[in-house]
């Protein structure tokens, strides 16, 4: 992206000895234990930005900057709205999300499902 060195990993795999300009943490609930621990550990040494679904959480209190996607906070077992919204946000921030993406999604959603797919079970 031309913005400098960037890494991505689970909070539990964060390389504690490595220095970063900023930590960007994603958590729909804002209560993910490993992320809370990482943000607390980085207090005072690394700027912390969180992308969360609920602003009234412990994670928001540990952040220097907060991006709230409360419209995408969901209670279902299979949670995709928050992850999709966060991905779209990050891609747009890097200039990788264009109007063509929305048009492509509309075309894909208008297509009929392949035969037999709706009969599939688990």
Q: In tens digits, what is the pLDDT along the chain, a chain of 122 residues?
A: 566 778 888 989 988 888 888 999 999 888 999 999 999 999 999 999 999 999 999 999 999 999 999 998 777 767 788 888 898 888 888 888 778 888 888 999 899 888 887 777 76
Q: Which residue intervals of the chain are DSSP H helices?
A: 33-41, 58-62, 81-93, 99-110
Tokens 């689970």 correspond to 10
The pTM assigned to this predicted structure is: 0.76
- Every domain of the chain and the residues it spans: 11-109
Report d(CA 16, CA 41) in Å as an integer.
9
Q: Of all helices (H) and strands (E), which one includes residue 93?
A: helix 81-93
Find out if CATH 3.10.450.50 is the number for domain 11-109: no
Question: What is the per-residue pLDDT for 121?
Answer: 72
């Amino acid at each position: 992206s031309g913005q400098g060195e960037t890494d991505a990993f689970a909070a539990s795999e964060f390389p504690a000895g490595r220095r970063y300009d900023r930590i960007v943490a994603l958590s729909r609930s804002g209560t993910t234990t490993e992320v809370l621990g990482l943000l607390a550990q980085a207090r005072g040494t690394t700027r912390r930005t969180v992308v969360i679904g609920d602003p009234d959480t412990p994670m928001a209190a540990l952040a220097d900057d907060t991006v709230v996607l409360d419209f995408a906070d969901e209670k279902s077992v299979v949670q995709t709205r928050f992850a999709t919204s966060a991905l779209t946000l990050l891609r747009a921030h890097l200039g990788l999300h264009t109007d063509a993406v929305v048009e492509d999604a509309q075309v894909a959603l208008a297509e009929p499902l392949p035969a037999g797919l709706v009969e599939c079970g688990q």
